[in-house]
């Protein structure tokens, strides 16, 4: 059997017998949602359409909501399932569930602003 050796930095290396390339992951609809699956609106690639508030777009006339966490990478970006933004994501989900601002969310969250240098306004 061939061994794989990787040198990270001078003086540091790792040797192993096996490398697993875990590719091809995709989200699957949980079994408990199967009865309402036909009510979920989907994008051109078959993924649920998720709004900014983490609710799934549902067929016209549906009065209930489905809210998702960590199932919106395709619509909210690759950082959406990260634990470092979990508190903000969970507050955005729980506030509409409770019908009030249970958890205060920042109105602006960007640390960077863009402007023309020297402009005063």
Q: What pTM value is reported for the model?
A: 0.59
pLDDT at position 60: 96
Rounded distance, CA 21 to CA 1, Å? 18
What integer pLDDT is reported at residue 90 of this predicted model?
Answer: 85
pLDDT of residue 36: 93
The per-residue pLDDT for 110 is 65
Alpha-carbon distance of 47 to 42, in angstroms, equals 5
**Positions in the chain whose pLDDT score sits under 50:** none
Within 10 Å of residue 89's Cβ, how many Cβ atoms? 20
How much is the pLDDT for 42? 93
pLDDT, residue 109, reads 67
């Amino acid at each position: 059997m061939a061994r794989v050796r990787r040198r990270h930095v001078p003086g540091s290396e790792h040797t192993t017998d096996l490398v697993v390339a875990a590719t091809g992951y995709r989200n699957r609809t949980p079994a408990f949602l199967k009865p309402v699956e036909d009510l979920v609106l989907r994008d051109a690639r078959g993924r649920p359409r998720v709004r900014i508030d983490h609710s799934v777009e549902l067929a016209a006339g549906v009065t209930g909501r489905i809210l998702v966490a960590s199932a919106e990478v395709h619509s909210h970006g690759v950082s959406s399932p990260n634990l470092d933004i979990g508190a903000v994501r969970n507050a955005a989900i729980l506030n509409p569930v409770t019908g009030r601002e249970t958890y205060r969310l920042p109105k602006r969250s960007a640390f960077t602003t863009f402007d023309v240098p020297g402009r005063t306004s």
